[in-house]
Amino acid sequence: MPSSYDGDSTTTNTTMHQVLEGLQNSQGNKEIPFSLLYDKKGSELYEEITKLEEYYPFLAEDHMLELHVDEIAAQIPPHSVIVELGCGTARKTAKILSAIQACHGRCRYAGIDVSGPFLEEAYKNLMQNVDGLQHEDMDMVQADYMEGLKIVRERYPHENVCILWLGSSVGNLSASAAVQFFRDAVAAVGTHCQILLCADMWKDQERLRAAYYDKVGVTGLFIKNGMRNALALLGHEVSTKDEESWVYEVDINKHLHQVEMYLKFPTDLKLPQHRVHIRAGERVLVEISRKFTVGDFNHLANESGFVIDMAWRDQTWGMQMLIPFK
């Protein structure tokens, strides 16, 4: 496999410092960084989530890509480099690359992920499923997003870069963090930067609750795994019994247009050496999933200096697919 691949560890770059910042907070909500959700176990659980009947975002995105992939390919200038953030095993990517290959006769691709094994699988998967893809047009970069974007820009100093950011992942970021993310992307790539992404739309509460508080309980396990990882970073190993005692709760926040995923602790958890004290009955916010109105997304684009080039909306699923550019 070509370039920048340097091993097999599934690590996140989340530091103990970031965890402490979120857990030492004694006034507002305690929280942990959502990146801790995606270690090996977490990625497996997320894959389970995507197979749940109630979890519509995965299907919705797949459906939209399927429908519009030729228009998308036409909207990406020839000679562009397609850079995928958090490509995982690139389950949805082949479709897009095939359309680009068919439309422009060539496709250059760089997959960025923190997980080496995923990159390896993504590479095999794409080489197998995309006709005409050339080995030398492929880069698999083991890095976090911004670091990866810089590496790709160095390799391709002049080309248009089209960032693929699938999985409605923009929803994980708060309004201000999302603006920062778009600005950072431009700082790393420069102009000639397009982003292809899906943003889940604000919709009726029952559908949201069903998608995030599933009947089987996988989502709860996924969230608990993130919390376990956070505490492990602080040197605290959680017993199965303790983990089972945490209560998974979902709030639908109408003001911020987001789903909030919490764990409620039934008993005190004290880590005095870290000045962390979670009180009995207190909740820790583990993940948010923002749901955008058209206005919400326009606002995000404006604030970060992006213009929305193309937008598709699917009314059945309540999903939008967009190509903002700078």
Residues 266-295 that bind ligand AVJ (CB under 6 A): 287, 289
Numbers of helices and strands, H then E, in the chain: 11, 13
Instruction: Identify which of residues 57 and 318 has a Cβ nearer to ligand AVJ in the complex.
Output: 57
Instruction: Identify which of residues 55 and 103 has a Cβ nearer to ligand AVJ in the complex.
Output: 55
Pick the stretch among 15-23, 162-170, 232-240, 316-324 that binds ligand AVJ (CB under 6 A): 162-170
Least separation in angstroms between residue 59's CB and ligand AVJ is: 12
Instruction: Identify which of residues 46 and 123 has a Cβ nearer to ligand AVJ in the complex.
Output: 46
Residue 168 DSSP symbol: T
Instruction: Identify which of residues 116 and 220 has a Cβ nearer to ligand AVJ in the complex.
Output: 220
Q: Which listed residue (35, 43, 93, 168) binds ligand AVJ by CB under 6 A?
A: 168
Q: Residue 317 carries which side chain, given as an amino acid letter?
A: W
Pick the stretch among 120-128, 153-161, 169-177, 317-325 that binds ligand AVJ (CB under 6 A): 169-177
Closest residue (Cβ) to ligand AVJ? 289
Pick the stretch among 23-31, 72-80, 167-175, 312-320 that binds ligand AVJ (CB under 6 A): 167-175
Least separation in angstroms between residue 308's CB and ligand AVJ is: 20
> Looking up tokens 């209560």, which residue turns up?
247
Least separation in angstroms between residue 181's CB and ligand AVJ is: 13
Distance, C-alpha 103 to centroid of its chain: 28
Closest residue by Cα to residue 284 from 25, 35, 38 = 25
**Could you write out the DSSP letters of every residue in 247-286?**
EEEEEEETTTTEEEEEEE-SS-EEEGGGTEEEPTT-EEEE
Residue window 172-191: x/- pattern of binding to ligand AVJ, with contact defined by CB under 6 A: x-------------------
Instruction: Identify which of residues 171 and 324 has a Cβ nearer to ligand AVJ in the complex.
Output: 171
Instruction: Identify which of residues 87 and 100 has a Cβ nearer to ligand AVJ in the complex.
Output: 87
Q: Which listed residue (30, 45, 56, 57) binds ligand AVJ by CB under 6 A?
A: 57
Contacts 24+ apart (CB under 8 A), 89-92: 89/118, 89/121, 89/122, 89/125, 90/121, 90/122, 90/125, 90/126, 91/125, 92/61, 92/62, 92/65, 92/166
Closest residue by Cα to residue 287 from 202, 213, 203 = 213
Q: Which listed residue (33, 88, 171, 318) binds ligand AVJ by CB under 6 A?
A: 171
**Cα–Cα distance measured from residue 321 to residue 64, given in angstroms and rounded to the nearest whole number:** 7
Contacts with ligand AVJ by CB under 6 A: the residue count is 12
Residues 206-265 that bind ligand AVJ (CB under 6 A): 212, 219, 222
Tell me the sheet residues that pair with 112. Answer: 85, 141
**Could you write out the DSSP letters of every residue in 101-150?**
HHHHS--EEEEEESBHHHHHHHHHHHHHHSTT--GGGEEEEES-HHHHHH
Element (H, E) at 164: strand 161-165
Q: Which listed residue (167, 220, 226, 318) binds ligand AVJ by CB under 6 A?
A: 167
Least separation in angstroms between residue 64's CB and ligand AVJ is: 14
**Cα–Cα distance measured from residue 323 to residue 309, given in angstroms and rounded to the nearest whole number:** 5
Q: Which listed residue (49, 90, 263, 286) binds ligand AVJ by CB under 6 A?
A: 49
Torsion sign over Cα 9, 10, 15, 16: negative
Do the Cβ atoms of 83 and 164 come closer than 8 Å? yes
Least separation in angstroms between residue 287's CB and ligand AVJ is: 5
> Where does this chain bind ligand AVJ (CB under 6 A)?
49, 57, 167-169, 171-172, 212, 219, 222, 287, 289
